[in-house]
Structure 1
């Protein structure tokens, strides 16, 4: 395989067994008993052990893993088939479908560093809430959800303490597509480029930051829709477990539930991967069982249920998809195609206006011919 002799390749081992011992230092003699990728460790640490369970880790990038248990599913909709975990050399391996999103927290950081947007403006809540609910306080369910999401103190992501979920004005909101290095799941288009739509002279920093948070949630929906297409006979995802640094922002997690229509479960730890590695090591050394881990090591959870109806979610998502389509086709027009460039910048009604003189000539000529024939028949010629 790739002209590499198989005998020099490493042995495939489970992620929960003793591989060796530390030889030197203060930890000398300590067994090395677990080895997992960070996303797989997070899946394990959040106790997504059964088929149909999923977790979402939101950091600089974002990854969604869907446990398919012992079934390997080859995705036709842009997901990656991967190994989830194998808890012991004699245990059956579990597999997963993975959705990879390149930019989540990094897009927020880029807006702050490059565009110098102030994510801690004092009027963020008021301006965003009034824009999101243009009809006033009549929509009490949405307003209650929004206020509960932003009223509690939220640990920062780096230095970012921005409000998610607001900033959609009455005349259309900002759409931000963070395809800085191409678009990953589900399109895998490396030539796609990031874009921002809908900005006006009245656009505020809070609206742009809110659009970046919405982008995170819409990309999760794209992954979940791909999962539904790849697993059409599986039950609908009942809940999504989240982790990572950005999951500490309560407003973002609420927005994730609102824009995806799914119950979101957030354990009160932002580093579930550490718990997963600990569980695998504890099982390998037989000092911990899954039941003991569940009883003593799983942190309390916060639940977030959606406050949006399906029409609100779908309207926002349709606008998002239209913006994504333009990003994906960013490289479809080259500088060497001036005719297309001119056509793209032309008024769409110009073709109709340009056809009017010719149409008038054809119709008038036809009328004159018919009139001449009638005059000839009646002896006027």
Structure 2
């Protein structure tokens, strides 16, 4: 959140301080969340970084670029590259051209020369250098949530997945169309499976705090002893006792984008105990996901008929059932939850010259299905 002051300065130069001023090009609202503001902050506040840029010995990239740089040799000839999905989250890439945009870079006063070369998500970029894996090709690169979308096999327009981890991220495949959200969502590249193939786009909604809420309950206020006990404790009560928890520890992300919002727990009475607050924390995740689904329905006009899920929190059966109940659609949980790793492997294996994955003939993952149990008339169960 330290980049908030940088954001405020930039907004002063925009008519009406419109946070969506650049959204038509990069698909993102102006927010401390994205890379461009972090880089601008470093250039303004860290003399060593500013000097390195002036002396043309500084490179910038997201984590994927740093990994590929080191895997392919680092200072000894390493590749300084990224892929379209990671580049689309910096606020510096033009979603139409899939290249760094001169006007966006000028707006943030960032020299294009320090940025990595943009590639597709699936191609042979180079080879590992050193060790027992020397010579093995590096052929897949995607952002975390984009890889999960691919791993969930959401390859068709209208399919969506939600990842439940420290935060919660919902991606909706919009095919080759770039849908500009009017309801607080992000437009992003979902993936591009080959340099000669067109990019597939997605709408994304980001929830800052999901699993992190339970870490806060454990470490900050000692309400629980371990995250593993959350489901059992929340199951001790049948409802939250009208307790509501808004875990806006670092502001609210999609669809509100209020960086100055703060968390609140309300509805506490003398009848409230730990189980109510723990259950309210689970419901908070589901309510925020419901907000994202509503925004996606408004932007695309087609409500989802099912929600595919992944991430570490999906083993919480109560969370999955609450999500199905509050969204009114089935929640599909794959038996293999690490779909981000699977998606990265699929992109790498489908690259031209590798060809160990056939993405046109995929079988669905074995899954558990959580169906809604709440009726349209209230909290009576079928």
The TM tier, using the shorter chain, reads 0.5 to 0.7
Q: CA deviation at 1:310?
A: 2.3
Alignment partner, residue 113 of structure 1: 219
Moved more, 111-120 or 205-214: 111-120
Measured in 2, the distance between the counterparts of 1:87 and 1:25 equals: 29
TM normalised by structure 1 equals 0.67
1:253 aligns with 2:359: no
Give the gaps of 5 or more residues in structure 1: 121-156, 314-381
Aligned residue pairs, count = 272
Asked whether the equivalents of residues 164 and 252 of structure 1 are also in contact (C-alpha less than 8 Å), the reply is no
Alignment partner, residue 198 of structure 1: 267
Q: 1:9 to 1:119 in 2, by over 3 A?
A: closer
RMSD over aligned Cα atoms: 2.2
1:312 aligns with 2:381: no
Asked whether the equivalents of residues 60 and 103 of structure 1 are also in contact (C-alpha less than 8 Å), the reply is yes
Alpha-carbon deviations, 1:39-58, whole Å to 9, x = none? 00000000011100110000
Alignment partner, residue 369 of structure 2: 303
Of 63, 69, 82, which residue of structure 1 is paired with 2:169?
63
Measured in 1, the distance between the counterparts of 2:166 and 2:234 equals: 16
Asked whether the equivalents of residues 230 and 278 of structure 2 are also in contact (C-alpha less than 8 Å), the reply is no
Measured in 2, the distance between the counterparts of 1:183 and 1:160 equals: 23
Alpha-carbon deviations, 1:46-102, whole Å to 9, x = none? 001110011000001110001101000111111001000011111111000110100
Q: CA deviation at 1:250?
A: 1.3
Q: CA deviation at 1:270?
A: 2.3
Alignment partner, residue 294 of structure 2: 225
1:100 aligns with 2:206: yes
Alignment partner, residue 279 of structure 1: 346
Alignment partner, residue 212 of structure 1: 281
* Secondary structure at 2:118 match in 1: coil
Q: CA deviation at 1:119?
A: 6.6
Measured in 1, the distance between the counterparts of 2:152 and 2:249 equals: 30
Alpha-carbon deviations, 1:317-347, whole Å to 9, x = none? xxxxxxxxxxxxxxxxxxxxxxxxxxxxxxx
Measured in 1, the distance between the counterparts of 2:165 and 2:223 equals: 20
Alignment partner, residue 37 of structure 1: 143
Measured in 1, the distance between the counterparts of 2:110 and 2:288 equals: 38
Measured in 2, the distance between the counterparts of 1:5 and 1:215 equals: 41
| Bigger relative CO (Cα 8 Å, ≥ 6 apart) | 1
Alignment partner, residue 258 of structure 2: 189
Asked whether the equivalents of residues 218 and 259 of structure 1 are also in contact (C-alpha less than 8 Å), the reply is yes
Q: CA deviation at 1:312?
A: 2.6
Give the gaps of 5 or more residues in structure 2: 1-104
Measured in 2, the distance between the counterparts of 1:4 and 1:109 equals: 36
Q: 1:165 to 1:216 in 2, by over 3 A?
A: farther
Q: CA deviation at 1:229?
A: 1.1
Q: CA deviation at 1:251?
A: 1.4
Bigger helix share: 1
Measured in 2, the distance between the counterparts of 1:239 and 1:166 equals: 28
Q: 1:274 to 1:169 in 2, by over 3 A?
A: closer
